[in-house]
Amino acid sequence: MVRSIHCSHGGRPPQILSLSLSSKTLTFPLSLPSSLTTSFPCLSLKLRPRKSRALAGTSKSNNSLKTVQCSSSDSNPRNVDESNYMPQPFSVKIPVGDRHILVETGLIGRQASGAVTVTDGETIIYTSVCLADVPSEPSDFFPLFVNYQERFSAAGRTSGGFFKREGRARDHELLICRLIDRPLRPTMLKGFYHETQILSWVLSYDGLHSPDALAITAAGIAVALSEVPNSKAVTGVRVGLISDQYIVNPTTKQMEESELDLVLAGTEDAILMIEGYCNFLSEDKLLKAVEIGQEAVRAMCKEVEALVKECGNPKMLEAIKLPPPELYKNVEEIAGNELVKVLQINRKIPRIKALSALEESVLTVLAEKGLLVKEGTSVVSEVIPEIDEDEDEDEVVIVDGEVDEGDFHIKPVSRKPVTLLFSEVDVKLVFKEVTSKFLRRRIVEGGKRSDGRTPSELRSIHSRCRLLPRAHGSALFTRGETQSLAVVTLGDRQMAQRLDNLIDVDELKHFYLQYSFPPSCVGEVGRIGAPSRREIGHGMLAERALEPILPSDEDFPYTIRVESTITESNGSSSMASVCGGCLALLDAGVPVKCPVAGVAMGMVFDTKEFGGDGTPLILSDISGSEDASGDMDFKVAGTEDGITAFQMDIKVGGITIPVMKQALLQAKEGRTHILAEMLKCTPPPSKKLSKYAPLIHVMKVKPEKVNIIIGSGGKKVKSIIEESGVEAIDMQDDGVVKITAKDMTSLEKSKAIITNLTMVPTVGDVYRNCEIKSIAPYGVFVEIAPGREGLCHISELSSSWLPNAEDIFKVGDRVDVKLIEINEKGHLRLSRRALLPDPGPDKSSAKPKSSSPSKEYSVAQNASPEKGTKEEENKEEASSRASQPAKVSTPEKFIRKLVAAKDGVNVNKEKQTKSGGKTITSAMAKDEATLVNGEAKVG
């Protein structure tokens, strides 16, 4: 008779079927053999649903025993009635700030381990949690994968790409993935190695309620409802500050006026993660915002815990696998004394090599003692099942209908594992934990860190600028063994970063920082490819820290790109990017409001374990080993007076407000010290525009004149660029025109063309040395400015009567004209005769002058030709006047502007709005139309 059958199920303890027949017990595997089902066609089983993936997301009422009928005619011995497993939809409203969010489960994603939809206004997030059946290899990193995607259909549009579907994750989606991952990871229990995947989608977006903080809450609830063993439920909120009033989960319109953007996540008891940026906010105001956010999170977590009791799945606690306790004792005995010496090595690379050699030594000693299992084999365990043994009963016959359903159920076999060997993976995990323990003990007991510093002491700082001669700005910032090479590039609007958002708006970023972390910076060999999530996150943190100190677009109309390449790393490279980026901006001549710096803070939370009084110990300017072995990574950037950006991650159960206050005050002292060291930069920043940087001039025209500059199909603006030699001309709908050039000559030429093209002529204006573009029977067309022509009627060409304009003028001749009329269509009527001297009575023409002021575009009436008595003299006079050089009138204001622009510091400091009532002409080309009386106006 079969006594027991062991079966493996997803790496968890095997389950068997126990059959009770009067005084005897039979055990069968969960998947019954066909022969058994044939023998017992009416066998009735009761199954516990949790151990099946199909039951994920069931409510508490569905966790009771389910009845399954087995039939011999069915190929599946467990012909389960799936309708019994479907969970009932359940929803609850949770208060958040001044409104409620709706949480629903059991309606969508019923086969996932946990799935919820969370609604705020008309913004809906759907999040699912699934885990692998088979555990992965043990490691010191929990296998958690988070993917967040904003569906364009959520806002009623499609992707702008060729395939019209969402592609790889965009940068801001990756940042939200990090916001979800970072607070959840510390709540995961050690020893659980089943790969866990969190998928989050924005299904609906109303443009008012941001999805990022909502996605954190949705993921936290989904994990709490799932089988993943975690310690506490996690939720997240956003906090804004408007007119000294703190607002929880403000709308996007409210955030436009907020001076703080804080995203906070935590549990009912403590804070796990904060991230955001602000406008030079004080430590007290930031702490107040954190406190208000924590109160909101606490209220939400209480509601989530009640929801989990109602609808949550049992946690897979049986899948947790921890190293044997006796292994810790063995490792400490073998490596304890040597660890104390190794952790005193100051330099990072020698210390890492010594620790690696010591780890190999521990493995060798355990192998010599026969306690280490060989690589590639599993750990040997002895399983002793508890079975009712009866030698007298070899066989039991079950009669149809004699089985009591209450006696036939599934129960796990009691096992007593006895570990005979330690696996290599467990040894490495324990060695790392023991190393962290010794490092923390050295800091708490001895008051010294690995590099010999005190808890509040910072590493040495060195910086230099003007490192790269062809770059617009560059700086090399070194703090201890962390080094950042920052490079600034200035450009026009074409260099701006275009963002593709849910809302159908073209958003351009005129300032962005890009961070790269090559493997060489830590002395390793690795693959170079697209930026990782870590690189994108660190770059955004540094970008937010620098953004508040930048000038406005009106004062400095450049697109600014900062590249931070980490050339050496031993902790806090993102804060080194802040310091190096600030120096590079100064070196590029960007007129920043003030310098900023950043510092990373660490913590040893439980000091009582190492002989302390239990008060958390805050560490300033943490190194890589202190980040890995410590309990906190708190990055704070700003000035001596205020904070501009911050980011905190916790590796323990969370911290409280008093601990955060102590960390912020200690960070302020660190920033003050770093700013003082940055002033010692050698060589110092140049603080002026590089000669290789482009020149940008901003001018203002009337919005309706923008189309005149562009021309049909962009032909006019292209011709201006080609004629003047500038790099680009950018026009906005509000009439702002930005000209980008490499030199002042091309800049001034294009500026004069645009000014004359968009000017508003006034009756009475006089234009000298203007070119005749074409001749018609009724007059000539004269170009008074580039692209602006007017008609000088034949009756206005001469003081005497002319039968034909071609008798005196030809195309290309230059004449002086006066504007005498602008008709309803904007056509210009010019007069040359008005500028000629009045002839005496004896010089008057025998034929009266033809007068048709309102019909300058009509063909002249036929008249008998009659030459004036002084026709030849007038012709010679006109020819003489046309050949004389034009006298250029340059306004005094324009001269001052040229001088200011040529020094190269701030070419657009003088705005076109200051000269908006004058026509600015080029003093470099003699053939340009010149304004005499200065009455023409820029449109």
pLDDT for the residue 894: 33
Q: pLDDT digit string (tens) for 798-850?
A: 888 888 888 888 899 999 999 999 988 878 999 999 998 876 554 444 444 43
pLDDT above 60: residue 905: no
pLDDT above 50 for 47: no
Label residue 755 by pLDDT band (50, 70, 90): confident
Mean of the per-residue pLDDT values of the chain: 79
Show the DSSP H helices in 245-369 as ranges.
Answer: 252-255, 283-311, 325-342, 348-368
Tokens for 916?
Answer: 């908006």
Span 668-705, pLDDT tens digits: 999 999 999 999 999 999 999 999 999 999 999 989 88
pLDDT band at 447 (very low <50, low <70, confident <90, very high): confident
For the cut 50, the answer to whether the pLDDT of residue 884 exceeds it is no
Position 437 scores a pLDDT of 92
For residue 69, pLDDT over 60 is answered with no
Confidence (pLDDT) at 718: 93
pLDDT of residue 85: 55
pLDDT of residue 202: 96
Q: Is the pLDDT of residue 326 over 50?
A: yes
Q: How confident is the model at residue 888 (pLDDT cuts 50, 70, 90)?
A: very low
pLDDT band at 101 (very low <50, low <70, confident <90, very high): very high
pLDDT above 90 covers what percent of the chain? 57
Range with the poorest average pLDDT among 122-136, 224-238, 283-297, 801-815? 801-815
In CATH terms, is domain 461-679 a member of 1.10.8.640? no
**Which of the following CATH numbers is that of domain 90-319: 3.20.20.140, 3.30.465.10, 3.40.50.2300, 3.30.230.70?**
3.30.230.70
Angle at 645 between CA 639 and CA 651, to 5 degrees: 120
* 9-18, 76-85, 754-763: range with lowest mean pLDDT: 9-18
Q: Distances from the Cα of 60 to the Cαs of 10, 328, 436, 544, 741, in angstroms?
A: 23, 40, 41, 45, 70
Tell which wins on pLDDT, 905 or 103. 103
Tens of pLDDT, residue by residue over 365-383, are 999 988 887 655 555 444 4
Q: Is the domain covering 765-835 a CATH 1.20.210.10 domain?
A: no
Considering only residues 108 and 16, tell me which one the structure prediction assigns the higher pLDDT.
Answer: 108
Q: Which helix (H) or strand (E) holds 901?
A: helix 892-902
Neighbours of 297 (CB within 10 A): 29
pLDDT of residue 574: 96
Q: State pTM to two decimals.
A: 0.74
- The contacts of residue 74 (CB under 8 Å, 6+ apart) are none
pLDDT for the residue 788: 80
pLDDT exceeds cutoff 50 at 63: no
Which segment of 26-35, 341-350, 461-470, 645-654 scores lowest on mean pLDDT? 26-35
Rounded alpha-carbon distances, angstroms, from residue 548 to 216, 260, 545, 582, 756: 27, 12, 7, 11, 38
Q: What is the pLDDT of residue 420?
A: 55
Give mean pLDDT, residues 94-117: 94
* pLDDT band of 87, cuts 50, 70, 90: low
User: Does pLDDT of 163 surpass 80?
Assistant: no
Predicted confidence (pLDDT) at residue 754 exceeds the cutoff of 70:
yes
- Say if residue 531 is preceded by a cis peptide, omega within 30 of 0: no
In terms of pLDDT, which residue wins out, 343 or 880?
343
Q: How confident is the model at residue 911 (pLDDT cuts 50, 70, 90)?
A: very low
Q: What would the pLDDT profile of 391-418 be if each residue is shown by its tens digit?
A: 444 444 434 444 343 343 444 444 444 4
The Cα–Cα gap between 859 and 478 comes to 80
Residue 522 has pLDDT above 80, yes or no: yes
With 70 as the cut, is the pLDDT of residue 650 above it?
Answer: yes
Of the pLDDT bands very low, low, confident and very high (cuts 50, 70, 90), residue 168 is: confident
Per the model's pLDDT, the better-predicted residue between 899 and 543 turns out to be 543
Which sequence spans correspond to the domains of the chain?
Answer: 90-319, 461-679, 695-758, 765-835
- Per-residue pLDDT, 655: 85
The secondary element (H helix, E strand) that includes residue 897 is helix 892-902
Residue 903 pLDDT exceeds 50: no
496-510 per-position pLDDT tens digit: 998 877 876 678 899
Least confident of 14-28, 340-354, 542-556: 14-28
Considering only the top CATH level, what class is 695-758? alpha beta
Kind and range of the H or E run holding 751: helix 744-757
Confirm if 580 and 681 have CB atoms less than 8 A apart: no
Residue 532 has pLDDT above 80, yes or no: yes
Lowest mean pLDDT among 122-126, 162-166, 571-575: 162-166
CB neighbour class for 415 (10 Å; exposed up to 12, middle 13-18, buried from 19): middle
| Same fold? 461-679, 695-758 | no
Locate 284 and state its tokens: 């007290």
Higher pLDDT, 359 or 924: 359
